Amino acid sequence: MRARRVIAAASVAALGVLSLAACGKSAPNIAAYVGDTTYSLTRVDGIYDEVQAQYGEAIQRRAAQEGATPSPEDLRSKVTRQDVVDLLVSLDLGKRVAAAKNLQVPDVISPQQLEQTLEVPASTEYAKLWGEWIDLLQVLNQQLPPAELSDESLMAVYGALQDVDAISGGMSIADVRQAFGDGGFVRSATALSTALEEEAGRVDVSINPRFRNVGVPSMVNKGQTPIFYSLPYINEAGPVTDISTLEPLPSSDAPSAEGPAPDEGTAS
């Protein structure tokens, strides 16, 4: 059985995090509440639809130049509405963390730099938000002390990679440690997800159940191929407070132990 991150009701109450059904925060047209900020389904759909439309147009133009006929599946970007919610909520919470630490976030990464890696047109809002996200991540990753490389953190990242079919099953924790090398990308990803989770505990966060677990938009290199994954830290009930043990997966498909490359706009 695929492992899950679970949350105890008592912990939710202690953190003061609201479920979507609590205290009036239950509007079905809202994807997420973060403090006094709301993210509507209309906003999420708009970002998602723009990606799909512009991606499809780009593929059609390329196919026309090559004299090919793309299938309907070829015209669809891999970006999901869940990805959009992950990005919006994480960017909001990350900005709050940076502001609390009085950190300055320079505008370094442009959407054009991310277009090839994301496989999303640079003109889309999604690509622009990712540019903001990477700028923020680079600052936070420099300022947040790396997390302990625990079995739980290793297997949480491992399970997140399994969720996007980037790795297959069969590895023990010892094998995972060997495959991930010094685990630098795991330490960074865990430190960031912990910081965002703690920030979510300080503000009222409510997630529409349609979007299951909200995770940190992250990337790791598998050879020369970037793998995008999401490390959950909020579910529809609030911040995640416990990580269950994940089932192991095979070393032959393990991501590069080098972890993410900041110059490529990697996320954690």
State which amino acid sits at residue 250: P
Residue 235: predicted pLDDT: 79
Residue 171: band (very low, low, confident or very high) from pLDDT cuts 50, 70, 90: confident
Burial zone of 81 (CB within 10 Å; 0-12 exposed, 13-18 middle, 19+ buried): middle
Q: Answer whether residue 3 shows pLDDT above 70.
A: no
Give the mean model confidence (pLDDT) for residues 166-183: 85
Q: Answer whether residue 79 shows pLDDT above 90.
A: yes
Model confidence over 178-203: pLDDT tens digits? Answer: 888 888 999 999 999 999 999 999 99
pTM for this predicted structure: 0.80
Q: Answer whether residue 169 shows pLDDT above 70.
A: yes
Residue 54: predicted pLDDT: 97
Model confidence over 229-265: pLDDT tens digits? Answer: 999 998 767 786 443 333 333 333 445 433 333 333 3
Residue 250: predicted pLDDT: 35
Give the mean model confidence (pLDDT) for residues 88-115: 97
Model confidence over 126-166: pLDDT tens digits? Answer: 999 999 999 999 999 999 998 999 999 999 999 999 888 88
Where does the chain show beta strands of DSSP type E? 5-6, 30-34, 37-40, 205-207, 214-222, 225-235, 238-239, 242-243
Give the mean model confidence (pLDDT) for residues 29-57: 97
Spell out the residues 6+ positions from residue 53 whose beta carbon is closer than 8 angstroms to its own.
none
* Per-position DSSP letters for 64-81, written without gaps between them: HHHT----TTTTS-S--H
Q: Which of 27-31, 166-170, 242-246 has the highest mean pLDDT?
A: 27-31
User: Which range, of 30-39, 49-58, 212-221, averages the lowest pLDDT?
Assistant: 212-221
Q: Tell me the average pLDDT of the chain.
A: 81
